[in-house]
Structure 1
C-alpha cells in the first residue's frame, strides 16, 4: 500500500495506491467523508472499500481531499474536491493506461463527489455509494445516472435517513437501462460503528454479483 503524491489543482494530493500487476486489471477510486467532520482516506469504511476492490484484482487509489492530512489547499465545499477527484482519476488512469473497467466508491460527502465525477467520466462502469447525503446535497445532476451501482445506508443513520436515500434511488430507477440497488444495514449509524461487517457483507455481495465470484489472496492461501 505505497504512499504516492499527486500534483493536484491546489498542490500536492496525498494518496495510497495498490498496483495490480495484471495488464487487464480494472481500477477503482475511493473518496472519503466530509473533511470538516473528520473525514480522511483512513476512515474505516474507506479502508474496507479499498480492500474489497484490492482483493478482487483491482488497482485501487484512495486519497485525501485538499486540506486533509498532507494534501495541500483549503476545503472548497464541493468544486475543489471534485477537481481533486478528477485529478486523482486522471493519475490512476495514466499509470494504468490500458485498464478497464473503472469503478468509483464514495462515503457520505465523498459519495456526493463520486456521483458528480461519474457523470463526467463515461468510462466509469459501476459505483458504490455509502450513506449518500441525499437530504443534504443536490443530486438532481443524476439525470440520468450513467452506470448501475449500489447505494447503501444504515437503518439508524440520523444524519442521512433511509427515506431520503430511498427517495433518491426511486427517482434514479426510472432511468432506462440503469439498475440502482439499494440496501440498508440493520442497526447501523452513519459511520457503521460496530456494523462494519454488515456493511461489507452487502458490498461484497454486490461486487460478487456484478463482477463474478473471485478467489481472493486470502482464499488462495487457505
Structure 2
C-alpha cells in the first residue's frame, strides 16, 4: 500500500498466510483486519476497495492488516468454498490478538461474508468491537445474522447499481436485523469513482473512540 507496508507470513490452518501490515505513526488504538473479495474471481489483498478500507483504518490511527486467503498469492492451501477461508481469517485475528488491542473487522464482497462469519464466531469471550461490510455478498453466500451487541457498531454500505450483488439482497438481509444500510447512488460493485467517498464514509462511521 505504501513504502512502509510490512509483508508478513502468518501461520494458518492450511499453511502460511500472506499478509500486509500498515502501522500508524502513533501507538495504534485498535487493529483492523480486512478480508478481500472472492478468491476465484481475482480477489486479493491488493484489491483497491480493500486498500481503501485499510487506508481509512490507518488514518483513524489503527493497525491495518490485509491478507490473502488460502491459495491466493503466496498463501498456501486451496479454495475451500468459504469454510476454510473463515478459518484463515480466524487465524489472522488470533495472530493479532497478542497485541491486546480492540478488534475491528471489515470485508468487501465475499470478504464481507467472511468478516460477518468471523464476528459471529467471536461473539462472547473476545468479540469484535466494530464491523464494516462493503457490498457484502448477501446473495451467493449465506451471511449470518450479526451478534446483537455488534449491530449498533456495524457499518454497511452498498452501491445502488451493484452489478454483482444486488443492493436489494443486502437491504433484505439487513432489514431482518434492523441494520441501517448506506446506499451510494450510481455506484457499482467496485465503487469506480467512489473510493474517496467510501473512505470518507468509513472514517465518519469510525469517528467515535473505541472502548479500550
**Gaps in structure 1 of 5+ consecutive residues:** 174-179, 213-222
Give the equivalent residue in structure 2 for 1:105. 106
Give the equivalent residue in structure 1 for 2:196. 197
Q: RMSD value over aligned CA atoms?
A: 1.7
Render the CA deviation track for 1:77-123: whole Å, top value 9, x for unaligned: 111100100000011112x1x22x21100000000010000011132
- TM (normalized to structure 2)? 0.89
Partners of 2:28 and 2:63 within 8 A in 1? no
* 1:151 pairs with 2:156: yes
Give the equivalent residue in structure 2 for 1:47. 51
Render the CA deviation track for 1:162-201: whole Å, top value 9, x for unaligned: 211111111111xxxxxx3310112111111122122223
Partners of 2:44 and 2:73 within 8 A in 1? yes
* Structure whose CA Rg is larger: 1
The 3 A distance-change label for structure 1 pair 120 and 53 is same
Give the equivalent residue in structure 1 for 2:20. 16
Give the equivalent residue in structure 2 for 1:216. none
* 1:142 pairs with 2:159: no
Higher relative contact order (CA 8 A, sep 6+): 2
State the distance in 2 between where 1:194 and 1:24 align: 30
* 1:185 pairs with 2:188: no
Give the equivalent residue in structure 1 for 2:87. 83
Give the equivalent residue in structure 2 for 1:176. none
